[in-house]
């Protein structure tokens, strides 16, 4: 069986709401470039596949469906994820950089340009974590539409299902537009021939002429084609519509099983979503029907210590201040025990894991200095980076531009 993929999700002082109070946390530095550079370089020292960087259009809330809580006892505010990734790109060398960029309220032309720039900046290590927004307060920042919001006790109502279908349909269109814009420059569109007085072959720039229910975009992009051709597209899913979104346009899907039995159930639903949208092809092709199966990661919130007792005591101490709740399983354990669990869950069919450190940088350090060596001892994780681009790390060929023959 192939080695595990391991990623980390970076968010503020960590995923525990009381993380900023923990000894070793750096709350005074959360809004500094150096803090984020240190985190990403630590993850790269651990040979991790990629980091994701959280983002949203509203202040943090304990429930992402709810209005902001306006709490003053928790971390509030964050830096722009894509700009953080762009800053750390030249300070790192091999790790993938995957900022969260929300499709709701965001023009795909801007998204395509920013992420193509990040891919150039990082020399082929960029990705995009796609996210939707259901919060009315976030819609109010833009004033172009109203969103009624969702309540957890009403998720099965026709109104809620219609809103989810609208937002995920918009996200699917946004992914398609962004992917087309990445293809709108052929690889050899730039000639740079001084003698011929020609920098660009205009026949190798293409209008994408996308017209859908949510966007009408002519193109081409203003940024030359990214080094990867198509940067990695990832998303987090908790059910059928998010699974279908990933199957339609994504490369990697994060899911949230709470035990190994649930891994099998979720994987069955993901593969059913792939069949539903006609995703049946092989790596390297550009059309959805020719895309390889989704790479599936399990998300886990991790709080690590040298002994199980010490880990549980850490969690209890933090929970006594401000209890942690999460969509993902919460594991307070040792790096060795976590390594055993990851290997066991991988055997159930997962390709990898996205770990959410409870406290930063403490639990990120424990992942790098404790978990990674334990996985390496089991032959389950790399001992060096072998690939130069993020797509290559996931076994994905660099696709040709879908418009490459249009100017011939």
Of 80-89, 286-295, 368-377, where does mean pLDDT reach its minimum? Answer: 286-295
Whether 169 is in a domain gets the answer no
Residue 75, domain extent: 5-132+227-393
**Can you give the C-alpha Rg of the chain in angstroms?**
21
Query: What's the rounded mean pLDDT across residues 292-303?
Result: 98
Q: What are the tokens at 276?
A: 């539903």
Distance CA 49, CA 44 (A): 8
Whether 154 is in a domain gets the answer no
CATH number of domain containing 105? 3.20.20.30
What is residue 407's predicted lDDT score, i.e. its pLDDT? 45
- Cβ burial 12-38 (10 Å sphere, 16+ → b, else e): bbbbbbbbbbbeebeeeebeeeebbeb
Instruction: Report residue 337 CA to chain centroid gap.
Output: 26
Distance CA 174, CA 72 (A): 35
Whether 260 is in a domain gets the answer yes
What is residue 286's predicted lDDT score, i.e. its pLDDT? 44
Number of H helices, E strands in the chain: 12, 13
pLDDT band at 282; cut points 50, 70, 90: very low
Instruction: Report residue 60 CA to chain centroid gap.
Output: 18
The residue count of the chain comes to 408
Q: What is the 3-state secondary structure (H, E, C) of 80-144?
A: CHHHHHHHHHHHCCCCEEEEEEECCCCCHHHHHHHHHHHHHHHCCCEEEEEECCCCHHHHHCCCC
What is residue 155's predicted lDDT score, i.e. its pLDDT? 81
Whether 304 is in a domain gets the answer yes
Could you tell me what percent of the chain has a pLDDT over 70?
Answer: 95
Helix axes 240-249, 260-277, angle to 10 degrees: 60
Number of domains in the chain: 1
Do residues 339 and 398 lie in contact, with contact meaning Cβ atoms separated by under 8 Å?
no
Whether 144 is in a domain gets the answer no
Q: From its phi and psi, is residue 17 left (phi > 0), alpha (psi between -120 and 50) or beta?
A: alpha
Does 66 score more than 90 pLDDT? Answer: no
pLDDT digits (tens, 9 = 90+) for 331-374: 999 999 999 999 999 999 999 999 999 999 999 999 999 999 99
pLDDT digits (tens, 9 = 90+) for 28-41: 999 999 999 999 99
* CA-based torsion, 211, 214, 219, 225: positive or negative: negative
What mean pLDDT value characterizes the chain? 93
Evaluate if pTM is beyond 0.85. Answer: yes
Q: What are phi and psi of 392, to 5 degrees?
A: -60, -35
Query: What's the rounded mean pLDDT across residues 37-66?
Result: 90
Does 252 score more than 50 pLDDT? Answer: yes
Query: What's the rounded mean pLDDT across residues 72-90?
Result: 96
Do residues 1 and 346 lie in contact, with contact meaning Cβ atoms separated by under 8 Å?
yes
Does 63 score more than 90 pLDDT? Answer: no
Nearest to 28 by CA among 10, 13, 8, 9: 13
pLDDT band at 285; cut points 50, 70, 90: very low
Whether 405 is in a domain gets the answer no
pLDDT digits (tens, 9 = 90+) for 134-189: 999 999 999 999 888 887 777 889 888 999 999 999 999 999 999 999 999 999 99
Cis peptide before 361 (omega within 30 of 0): yes
pLDDT digits (tens, 9 = 90+) for 219-247: 999 999 999 999 999 999 999 999 999 99
pLDDT digits (tens, 9 = 90+) for 101-123: 999 999 999 999 999 999 999 99
Whether 195 is in a domain gets the answer no
Whether 245 is in a domain gets the answer yes
């Amino acid at each position: 069986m192939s080695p595990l993929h391991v990623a980390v999700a970076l968010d503020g002082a960590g995923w525990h709401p009381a993380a900023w109070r923990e000894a070793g946390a750096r709350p005074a530095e959360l809004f500094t470039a150096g803090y984020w550079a240190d985190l990403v370089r630590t993850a790269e020292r651990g040979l991790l596949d990629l980091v994701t960087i959280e983002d949203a259009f509203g202040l943090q809330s304990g429930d992402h469906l709810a209005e902001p809580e306006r709490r003053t006892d928790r971390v509030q505010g964050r830096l722009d994820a894509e700009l953080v990734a762009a800053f750390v790109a030249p300070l790192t060398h091999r790790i993938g950089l995957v900022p969260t960029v929300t499709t709701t309220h965001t023009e795909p032309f801007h998204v395509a340009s920013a992420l193509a720039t990040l891919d150039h900046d990082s020399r082929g290590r960029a990705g995009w974590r796609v996210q939707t927004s259901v919060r009315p307060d976030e819609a109010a920042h833009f004033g172009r539409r109203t969103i009624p919001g969702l309540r957890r006790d009403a998720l099965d109502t026709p109104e809620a299902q219609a809103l989810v279908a609208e937002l995920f349909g918009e996200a699917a269109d946004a992914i398609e537009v962004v992917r087309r814009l990445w293809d709108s420059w052929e690889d050899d569109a730039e000639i740079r021939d001084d003698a011929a007085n020609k920098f660009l072959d205009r026949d190798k720039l293409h209008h994408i002429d996308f017209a859908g229910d949510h966007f009408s975009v002519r193109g081409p992009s203003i940024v030359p084609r990214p080094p990867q051709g198509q940067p990695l597209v990832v998303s987090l899913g908790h059910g059928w519509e998010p699974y279908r979104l990933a199957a339609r346009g994504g490369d990697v899907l994060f899911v949230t099983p709470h035990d190994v039995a649930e891994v099998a159930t979720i994987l069955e639903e993901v593969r059913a979503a792939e069949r539903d949208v006609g995703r049946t092809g092989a790596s390297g092709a550009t059309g959805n029907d020719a895309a390889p199966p989704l790479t599936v990661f399990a998300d886990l919130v991790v709080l690590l210590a040298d002994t199980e007792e010490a880990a549980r005591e850490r969690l209890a101490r933090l929970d006594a201040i401000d209890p942690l709740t999460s969509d993902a399983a919460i594991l307070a354990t040792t790096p060795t025990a976590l390594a055993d669990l990851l290997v066991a869950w991988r055997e159930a069919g997962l390709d990898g894991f996205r770990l959410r450190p409870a406290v930063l940088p403490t639990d990120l350090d424990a992942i790098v200095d404790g978990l990674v060596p334990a996985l390496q001892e089991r032959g389950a994780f790399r001992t060096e980076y072998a690939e130069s681009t993020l797509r290559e790390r996931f076994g994905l060929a660099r696709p040709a531009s879908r418009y490459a023959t249009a100017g011939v």
